[in-house]
A and B are shown apart, each in its own frame.
Chain A
Amino acid sequence: MDGYIIGTIIKAILVLAIISALAGFGTYIERKVLAFMQRRYGPMHVGPYGLLQIAADGIKLFTKEDFIPSGANRLIFMFAPIITAATAFIALAAVPLLPEFKLFGMTVRAIVADLNIGILFILGMMAAGLYGPLLAGMAQRNKWGLIGAARTAVQFLSYEVVTGLSMLAPIMIVGSLSLIDFNNYQSGGMGEWLIWKQPLAFILFLIAGFAETNRTPFDLLEHEAEIVAGYATEYSGMRWGMFFIGEYANMITIGFIAAIVFLGGFNSWGFLPGGLAIVLKVSLFFFLMLWVRASWPHVRPDQMMWLCWKVLMPLAVINVTLTGLWMMV
């Protein structure tokens, strides 16, 4: 039992360290990929290929003055970024990151907490993460912030239904809520991936995932062209940084869920071992998010609501119904 607790603590610290480092690295990748798509170089001057830009950004974020506007609700204002960052990492606790491996003669399972309701827990925790932007926007007494908070509520209420319903069809097929069961269900190679059985659910989940992580085309909460920086207008320094660590951690989580549920998870893929396969798949989703950001404009809030409630939700319901019929026959 003691070994279990110590192992869990070590895993939690490792996940925290690695994912926050990856989130920092993600900002560099994002700038580079966007730059290449727009035929420019991106960060070039700090270190080889601008790689040390992350360190420079980190130093800047940590040493910048932490500023709280005078009219703001101080307690909530200081607390809001912690919600975003913390829930993003709590959600990651239930994600199986890699296949089992052996270390010093012990079998290590690369998951912090194997819940039998893993996927619901992750979605619930990521939903709770939207309280960060909401509270931040309402606490800062800034009209842009308030608009950002209002958009957070609107966005949350729109996409949440689509996320849940699109995940329901794969859950019905596998008959379990544990991500490990999802992985084992698809262990028979590429032909058994759930994406072939549930292509519609896959696309719906991806779209809802973009909305969940505030990525373009659904980044209504900040939308720098319209409402300055939305909920983050008054934030600076590390509090601002925590919002973005949370956002990038959520992008990685969505990548893992999509890879495990629809693309075969961490089963070995042809000659690729499982660990490498899932890293490749998650990178693919991360790249897809950057690609979409480079090539698509924002949508308006009313278009987003129209899309979620009038297009995606009916499609998701039809998909669930058809899956149910197909399973009964």
Chain B
Amino acid sequence: METFAFYFLSISIVALFAVTVWSRNILYSMTSLAAGMVLISGLFFILGADFLGVVQLIVYVGAVMALYAFGMMFFDATGVVKEKNAPAMTVFILGGLTALMLVVIFAAPSIANGAPAFYPPMAGANNPQAVGLVLFTKYLVPFEVAAIMLLVAMVAGIILAGKKMDRSLSKIKDAELEGGEAKDSK
């Protein structure tokens, strides 16, 4: 049962992400990306990591939703995007080699050593508790570093977006909008 579910999910995920890469319609690309991200949470559920599965679901649903917002602004959603491809061979070799290298980097240790559980599940602790305990003891430093990175990104985002925050677009008078940009640029 679990084997079947694993292969079903894996094949669907790979197929969906292939659609993401190859489709020239922005709507198909992003929808298959979102669907693939949702299905990845299924892999976590099979492994019994319910908490991580739900986190995957919540985080990527929101993240891909933001991508949709950009897609909506930059592309015609129902049409076909004209891609300007660099020489196909170069792209293929560079991209393929990078992907291969990443796979080897991440897969080599687990092929050599198997995938041992460094921290076997604690008796009596349920899933979120186990994640929390490891996160706040063994992995505290990476956790804090990630938090600081997010904070930096947030501050940068606010500064980039906040230049004209003191004026509301809906309060600009019509005459001022039609009168051109002269008064606008103070």
**Interface of A toward B, CB cutoff 8 Å:** 71-73, 75-76, 115-117, 120-121, 123-125, 127-128, 130-131, 134-135, 138-139, 141, 146, 149-150, 153-154, 156-157, 160, 164, 177, 300, 302
Contacts and interface: CB of A to CB of B under 8 A. Distances in A.
A146 B128 contact: no
Question: What 5 pairs between A and B have smallest CB-CB spacing?
Answer: A124-B57, A138-B77, A124-B58, A153-B69, A120-B54
Contacts of A75: 28
Interface in B28-66: 28, 31, 34, 38, 50-51, 54-55, 57-58, 61-62, 65-66
A71 to B, nearest CB: 6
Contact of B31 (A76, A121, A123, A164): A76
B169 A302 contact: yes
A123 B170 contact: no
Interface string B15-31: 00000000001011001
Contact of B78 (A73, A123, A134, A156): A73
B23 to A, nearest CB: 11
B66 A157 contact: yes
A302 B62 contact: no
Given A131-B34, A138-B68, 7 more contacts: A71-B78, A117-B50, A124-B54, A124-B61, A146-B77, A149-B68, A177-B128
Contact of B61 (A121, A127, A154, A164): A127
22 contacts: A72-B78, A73-B77, A76-B27, A116-B50, A116-B128, A117-B50, A117-B127, A120-B55, A121-B54, A124-B54, A124-B57, A127-B61, A131-B61, A134-B65, A139-B78, A141-B77, A150-B69, A153-B66, A153-B69, A153-B72, A156-B62, A177-B128
Contacts of B110: none
Nearest to A303: B170
A135 B65 CA distance: 10
Interface of B: 25, 27-28, 31, 34, 38, 50-51, 54-55, 57-58, 61-62, 65-66, 68-69, 72, 77-78, 126-128, 168-170
A76 B28 contact: yes
Contacts of B27: 73, 76, 135, 138-139
A47 to B, nearest CB: 42
Contact of A127 (B50, B62, B72): B62
A156 B25 contact: no
A123 B58 contact: yes
Contact of B25 (A73, A116, A120, A131): A73
B61 A128 contact: yes
B38 A128 contact: yes
A285 to B, nearest CB: 23
Nearest to B62: A160
A154 B51 CA distance: 27
Contacts of B68: 134, 138, 149, 153
A141 B78 contact: yes
Nearest to B34: A131
Contacts of A73: 25, 27-28, 77-78
A305 to B, nearest CB: 11
Nearest to A156: B65
A120 B72 contact: no
A304 to B, nearest CB: 12
A135 B28 CA distance: 10
Given A124-B54, A146-B77, A149-B72, A130 B28 contact: no
Contacts of A134: 65, 68
Contacts of A128: 38, 57, 61
B73 to A, nearest CB: 8
Nearest to B77: A138
B65 to A, nearest CB: 6
Contacts of B170: 300, 302
Contacts of B168: 302
Nearest to A135: B31
Nearest to A120: B54
Contacts of A300: 170
Contacts of B128: 116-117, 177
A120 B53 CA distance: 10
